[in-house]
Amino acid sequence: MRLFQACAILTAPFIMTAVAAAGTDNPSAHEHGKAKGSIAVEEKTVVVELEIPSDDIFGFEHATKSKEQKDAVTKALDTLRGKTLEVINLPSENGCRATEIKVESSLEGEPKNLPKDKNQVVHSDVDIRYTFTCDKVEGLNAKLGLLKLFPRIKAVDLQVLTAKAQSKVTVTKSDTVIPL
C-alpha cells in the first residue's frame, strides 16, 4: 500500500497541473503528441494512470460542435474503456485482468468549462486510470498499444514504480515495451 501512496504523491503534480490548466489559455498546459503518466506495481496489483491531450485522442480539444465530433468522442472513449488490454498489454501468462477502468474527458456529454472569450485557447485532456489484478507480477513487462490505437500520440513519458525500483521511461512507436 505504501507504494500506491508514493505513486499518488508522484502523480499529484500531473493531476494538479491538468486541473489548473483545464479551460485556460495556458500553452504549457500540455504538449500535443505527448502523453504522460505512471505505472505502479504492488504485490499483485498494477495501476496505470495516463493523461493525454484531447487533440491526440479526438483530433480536437474544444467542445464538440457537430454530431461527427460527438461520435468521435464516444468512439474513442469506448475504445479506451473497452479495449483496456490493447491500450496496455500485460502478458496473458501473468493472468492480469482489469478490475477498475476509469476514463474521463471534459468533452464527453454536454460542454463544460467553456471559455467566455471565443478567442481563448482551450486545453483539455483525457484522464485514464486502469487497475489490474494479476496472478503473478514476477517477470512482468507491459506493452503500450495506445500509440497504435491513437497514432497522433508520438510518445508517452511514464514514471514506473515497483517494490524494487523507481524509473522513468519514454515509450515511442518504435519502443513500446515497459519493463516492470
Cell matching residue 105: 474527458
Answer left, alpha or beta for residue 168, where phi above 0 means left and psi between -120 and 50 means alpha: beta
Element (H, E) at 159: strand 155-161
Q: Residues with Cβ < 8 Å from 16, sequence gap 6 or more?
A: none
Could you give the number of structural domains in the chain? 1
Supply the pTM of this predicted model. 0.79
User: Which residue from 154, 34, 148, 160 is spatially nearest to 86, judged by alpha carbons?
Assistant: 148
pLDDT tens by residue, 22-64: 333 344 466 888 999 999 999 999 999 999 999 999 999 888 8
Distance CA 56, CA 33 (A): 6
Residue 56's domain spans which residues? 2-179
